[in-house]
Amino acid sequence: MQILQDKALVIPVVHPKQITSVIPKSKELKGDEVIVHWGIDEVHTLRSVGIKAPSPISRRYKWTGQYTPFDHQKKTAAFLTLNKRAFCFNEQGTGKTASAIWAADYLISQGKVNRVLVICPLSIMDSAWRNDMFSFAMHRRVDVAYGSKSKRKAVIEGDAEFVVINYAGVELVEDAIASGGFDLIIVDEATHYKNAQTKRWKALNRLLQADTWLWLMTGTPAAQSPTDAFGLAKLVNPLGVPRFFGAFRDMVMYKATMWKWAVRDTATDTVFNALQPAIRFTKEECLDLPDMVYVKRKVQLTTQQEFYYEELRKKMITNAAGEEISAVNAAVQMSKLLQISGGAVYTDDKETVQFDISNRYSVLKEVIAESSKKVLVFVPFKHTIDLLTEKLRADKISAEVIRGDVPVHKRTEIFQKFQTEDDPKILVIQPAAAAHGVTLTAANTVVWWGPTPSLETYAQANARVHRAGQTHKCTVVQLAGSSAEKRIYSLLDARINIHTKIIDLYKDLLD
């Protein structure tokens, strides 16, 4: 197969008329070759007769935005443009959001798609999708449908080419979406649609028309059980699975006892065949990826947290009026803002006020579900560690704690188990207690529950996974819900020592 001037394909075929009869303006050449226009429609036709022509995006698209795509991102985008219904199982941190944006942008430019609906977790509506749209396709109009029902409807009925909405929002404004002209739906972290009996799944299924493009994206399609594949396959590849869940369960599981189901030896192949067409790149396969990828996740503060956060900020403004701000006082007040954001604040009387951490915890569980290996969770404040660990263990997620009051011999035992055994899956760590000298390469994901104000501690803590012996590329995830957290992360990202900027940061937050 030969590409002529990026506009035509010369294809060697045994029976040229097989091609010329179905592709307009194609011509026979000497030597049993056919020349065809190289467009999306022509490639789809060629593939329908068994000729694996490449997507024209590979040569006929100017990769827009501020960054040059990696090779695996180009291949992922090309795959998506050739499959109206498809899975993208690229691992967390491989940049699959950008691939989907480029693929969708190309389809819009070719007139194959008019509007795109992106369904994703609340935590990445802005930090991943809106921001990435600006980075990779800034010429496209994008809006986020969030808030009241009327606000969401107004966005959907607007002129944005890309509309981003969270899972719960789809059910809330399903009718508006159905009449909104969306002919491509992208679902990020699609494991939220693994159960075909939920209202969420049924709402999405009702939105799918025969000509609707649908791309489901997740790095862990069947992490908990092979039966998780059923709901996903019913959306993309319904003919690849039985009509009813029970029949699929019997294909991948068997009843070992009265109360226990076990996985069949053939389950992996069954799930693989059901979840097609699909593309997958692991971080290790992406040779052009940096060894450490940084990801931001937005966390919504609860109403209670927002109230106390703003009360403290107002008090700080009052105290600062007409007075010189000392670095010590600024650091203390900043610490309290961070404590409120993270879930527990220490009062002047040494009492602890606890807040609802369910929003932040839900985002953490999303990250854990997407991680291919074990996870380190760095939590700056001691009492928040207790709250978080209780929740993890209540959800039967194996977790151990490392903090200052854990004896050295106990820490050594925990580290050894983490490195060599299946459990624990999660280490919840007070940063200063394990920021130096410890190798924790069984994990490839680091989550910051909240930022540390120490640049050295931040860098050293991340280095627990990114060091000699690590065979996987790593991801650092920053959870942020307040302006104080976002500002500190920005300084850490810029490798600026927070302690030298603490008064400027303090004044900035007061403004």
- Tokens read off for 61: 């698209």
pLDDT of 289 > 70? The answer is: no
Long-range contacts of residues 457-462, Cβ cutoff 8 Å, at least 24 apart:
457/431, 457/432, 458/431, 458/492, 460/435, 460/436, 461/376, 461/378, 461/429, 461/431, 461/434, 461/435, 462/292
- The whole-number pLDDT of residue 1 equals 61
Q: How many residues does the chain have?
A: 511
pLDDT of 437 > 60? The answer is: yes
Strand partners, 378: 429, 448
Closest-CA residue to 189 (of 369, 364, 361): 369
Mean pLDDT is lowest, of 55-59, 68-72, 253-257, 469-473, for 469-473
- Dihedral, 448, 451, 452, 455 alpha carbons, nearest 10: 90
Mean pLDDT of the chain: 89
Sign of CA dihedral 69, 72, 78, 81: negative
Average pLDDT of the residues in 70-87? 95
**CB burial readout 475-504, b (16+ within 10 A) else e:** bbbbbbbbebbbbbbebbeeeeebeebbee
pLDDT of 55 > 70? The answer is: yes
**pLDDT exceeding 70 applies to what percent of the chain?**
95
Higher pLDDT, 364 or 290: 364
Best mean pLDDT range from 7-11, 138-142, 307-311: 138-142
Q: Write the secondary structure of 466-480 as one string of H (helix), E (strand) and C (coil).
A: CCCCCCCCEEEEEEE
pLDDT of 435 > 60? The answer is: no
Mean pLDDT is lowest, of 63-67, 230-234, 474-478, for 63-67
Taking only the tens place, the pLDDT of each residue in 311-338 is: 888 888 877 776 667 778 888 888 899 9
Average pLDDT of the residues in 340-352? 81
pLDDT of 373 > 60? The answer is: yes
- The whole-number pLDDT of residue 351 equals 76
Average pLDDT of the residues in 354-369? 92
Task: Tell me how far apart the alpha carbons of residues 161 and 235 are, in angstroms, rounded to a whole number.
Answer: 23
At residue 290, what are phi and psi to the nearest 5 degrees?
Answer: -65, 160
Closest-CA residue to 226 (of 247, 246, 252): 252
pTM of the model: 0.76
Task: Tell me how far apart the alpha carbons of residues 65 and 138 are, in angstroms, rounded to a whole number.
Answer: 7
Average pLDDT of the residues in 132-160? 95
Task: Tell me how far apart the alpha carbons of residues 502 and 292 are, in angstroms, rounded to a whole number.
Answer: 27
Q: Give every CB contact of residue 233 below 8 A, 6+ residues apart in sequence.
A: 240, 241, 274, 275
Taking only the tens place, the pLDDT of each residue in 91-145 is: 877 889 999 999 999 999 999 999 999 999 888 888 789 989 999 999 999 999 9
How many other CB atoms are there within 10 angstroms of residue 407's CB atom?
8
Question: Could you give the angle at which helices 483-493 and 327-342 cross, rounded to 10 degrees?
Answer: 110
Instruction: Please tell me whether residue 71 adopts helix, strand or coil conformation.
Output: helix
Burial (CB count within 10 angstroms: exposed 0-12, middle 13-18, buried 19+), residue 428: buried
- Tokens read off for 17: 């008329």
Closest-CA residue to 99 (of 125, 127, 128, 70): 70
Task: Tell me how far apart the alpha carbons of residues 80 and 85 are, in angstroms, rounded to a whole number.
Answer: 8
Closest-CA residue to 281 (of 290, 292, 273, 289): 289
**pLDDT exceeding 90 applies to what percent of the chain?**
54
At residue 312, what are phi and psi to the nearest 5 degrees?
Answer: -65, -40
Taking only the tens place, the pLDDT of each residue in 444-499 is: 899 999 999 888 889 888 888 876 667 678 889 999 999 999 999 999 998 888 88
- The whole-number pLDDT of residue 467 equals 64
At residue 372, what are phi and psi to the nearest 5 degrees?
Answer: -85, -15
Residue 116 belongs to what H/E stretch?
Answer: strand 116-120
CA distances from 346 to 3, 93, 187, 337, 360 (A): 67, 35, 40, 11, 19
**Residue type for 321, please?**
A
Report the first-to-last Cα separation within the chain, whole angstroms. 62
CA distances from 187 to 162, 247, 349 (A): 13, 26, 48
Instruction: Please tell me whether residue 303 adopts helix, strand or coil conformation.
Output: helix
Taking only the tens place, the pLDDT of each residue in 242-251 is: 999 999 999 9
- The whole-number pLDDT of residue 288 equals 67
pLDDT of 407 > 80? The answer is: yes
Q: Contact, 36 vs 56, CB < 8 A? A: no
Higher pLDDT, 24 or 76: 76
CA distances from 278 to 17, 22, 165, 324 (A): 31, 27, 24, 60
Residue 48's pLDDT band (cuts 50, 70, 90): confident
Mean pLDDT is lowest, of 165-179, 276-290, 417-431, for 276-290
Average pLDDT of the residues in 75-90? 96
- The whole-number pLDDT of residue 154 equals 97
- Tokens read off for 446: 């680091």
DSSP 220-247: -TTSS-GGGHHHHHHHH-GGGS-SSHHH
- The whole-number pLDDT of residue 469 equals 65
Task: Tell me how far apart the alpha carbons of residues 77 and 61 are, in angstroms, rounded to a whole number.
Answer: 11
- The whole-number pLDDT of residue 506 equals 81
